[in-house]
Amino acid sequence: MVLAVGASNFLGLAQAGAWNSVTSMGSRVDMPMLAGGLKQVKPPVFSKQTRGLVKRFGRYGHSQVEGDINTEWFAEGYSKLLTAGLARTTVSGTNFNTHTFGFADATGTLDNPFGLVVWTHQDLKTWRSLSCFAKSYTWTFSDEPFVSFKTSMIGASRTREAAVTPSFSSLAPMTGFGDGSTVGLIISAVTNAHTYANVLAKSATITINTGIDLAKAINTAAPVKPMITDKRAITGSWTWNYSSNDALSEDYLTDWDAGTVLGAISFTLIGDVIPGSSPSTRYTLQINIPSAYITGEDPIVSGSGAIDQTFGFEGAIATLGGTAPTVVVKSFETLP
């Protein structure tokens, strides 16, 4: 007897080789997954002229796949999700690769025109979704050891297939804890012309909206291709205890009041040394926002305890001026 409690919930990822096709390129990567998943959206549509909403007068409208992939950020594996929404360049070293991701071309030209084939498995059932793209990515750092990672996805179609058995990596998810200088999460910020190289935070979050949507046509139910919308953006914040003696708080509020541009923000998550890497290189996730705008907010007194302050920002992308943000991943992972 198998209890349907989600204990065997996992994710499979492969590069799609053709649009809305089971054809895939390269090997499939299996990763553990938290609660969530992809579902088919296929709403019934009824004639507005028909008097009775009975089934024989209804039909199914446009269909696609939507949902959230919720995971923890591993040193290997999840970079493949970044290829479903961001442009990528790769520089290879000895036993490691440096993948640099940025916003896709605003004209709609994607490095990955066919998306990903995504397998989601729940207990004894496996579903395969085709031509999947990422609408957004969100990293959440909290006072728990592991870093939460959510990918909001859309896809062309979904089918059921025979249950598959995953092959998991032995790596553990990366943790934001460290000694504050060489490993773990390191936040840096430039504001009011001052550089703060190691910013403390109670929590932090970064969201990248890729601006990708799927185009639909009146003579086919499934989407026909990906497209770029005007919703591309990178936003985020971190929270820390406010104090009038905290120089960063004062500098940040000075720029917030003046409406000036925050010079730069960088979130760097550093893990273990990649085995065999030369020169010796650590697993790294780095999110760089070279030109950021402060979105506030002022510290609010919520009681007699410590006052928390949220440092919010929105990064400029290439079409809005300034240097474009990047996501840099250093790992052993090979991406197609």
Q: pTM here?
A: 0.90
Which residues form the domain of 265? 10-45+62-331
Is 4 contained in some domain?
Answer: no
Is 57 domain-assigned?
A: no
- pLDDT by residue (tens digit) across 82-100? 999 999 999 999 999 999 9
Mean pLDDT, range 39-59, rounded to an integer: 71
User: Is 3 inside any structural domain?
Assistant: no
Q: What is the pLDDT of residue 256?
A: 83
How are beta strands 225-228 and 261-262 bridged, if at all?
unpaired
Give ∠ CA 230-189-267 in degrees, rounded to 5. 65
Q: Is residue 241 part of a domain?
A: yes
- Does position 2 have pLDDT exceeding 60, yes or no? no
Section 134-141 average pLDDT = 96
Q: What pLDDT does residue 286 have?
A: 96
Q: What sign has the CA pseudo-torsion 171, 176, 179, 181? A: positive
Distances (CA, A) of 105 to 111, 114, 202: 9, 15, 35
The total number of structural domains that make up the chain: 1
**pLDDT > 90? residue 334:** no
Question: Is residue 54 assigned to a domain?
Answer: no
Q: Pick the more confident residue, 1 or 207.
A: 207
- pLDDT given for residue 36 in this prediction: 77
pLDDT at residue 51, as a whole number: 62
The span from the CA of 23 to the CA of 62, in Å, is 23
Average confidence (pLDDT) over 34-62: 74
Local structure of 222: helix, strand or coil: coil
The whole-number average pLDDT for the span 225-245 is: 85
Q: Would 294 be classed as within a structural domain?
A: yes
Whether residue 324 is contained in a domain is answered as yes
| Average pLDDT for the chain | 85
User: What is the percent of the chain where pLDDT is above 90?
Assistant: 35
Q: What pLDDT, on a 0 to 100 scale, did the predictor assign at position 57? A: 64
